Amino acid sequence: MQVSYQRLHKMNPIEARRMIIETYPRCASISATAREIGTSRQVVRKWIRRYEEEGEKGLRDRSRRPHISPRKTSYHPKRLRSNRLGTPIFSPKEKRRGQTLLPCPLGMGSKGAVLSPHTN
C-alpha cells in the first residue's frame, strides 16, 4: 500500500520529496509523475530541479526569512529619544521643522513614527 504524497509530507517532508525523485525516472514525464503521486506538476518540477542543482541538500526546507527589511529602522529609538530631549518638538508642524535636528538619515515620517511612542 502506497502512502499519498500529502500524508507522507505531513509525516516526513524529505521522504515525500525523495518519493518524487525516485518516481520521476520510472514515469519519464513530469505530468505522469504528478498524476501517480497525486500532486501538482509545479511541485514535481520544483523538487526535481532542486535535486538536480543541489543533490540531497536541495530536498531540505529553505528559510523563508527575508534577506533585507527595507522598512526596518537602523537606529535604536532610545538613541533617537536621547537626541531629541534637547529639542522640544510638540506639534506635527514643529515636529517636521525639528526633523533636521535629528542626526540620522531617516525620512520625516519614519522619524515621527519612531519618536511618537517615546514622547511620554
Answer whether residue 7 shows pLDDT above 70.
yes
Dist CA 76 CA 74 (whole Å): 7
CB 103 within 8 A of CB 84: no
Answer whether residue 81 shows pLDDT above 60.
no
Tell me what pLDDT residue 11 has. 77
* Nine cell digits for residue 51: 535535486
Nearest to 21 by CA among 76, 54, 59, 53: 59
Q: What is the pTM of this model?
A: 0.54
Which is more confidently placed, 10 or 99? 10
Answer whether residue 48 shows pLDDT above 90.
yes
Instruction: List Cβ neighbours of 44 (8 Å cut-off, separation of 6 or more).
Output: 20, 24, 30, 33, 34, 37
Give the pLDDT band of residue 55 (cuts 50, 70, 90). Answer: very high
Dist CA 21 CA 46 (whole Å): 11
Tell me what pLDDT residue 42 has. 94
Mean pLDDT of the chain: 75
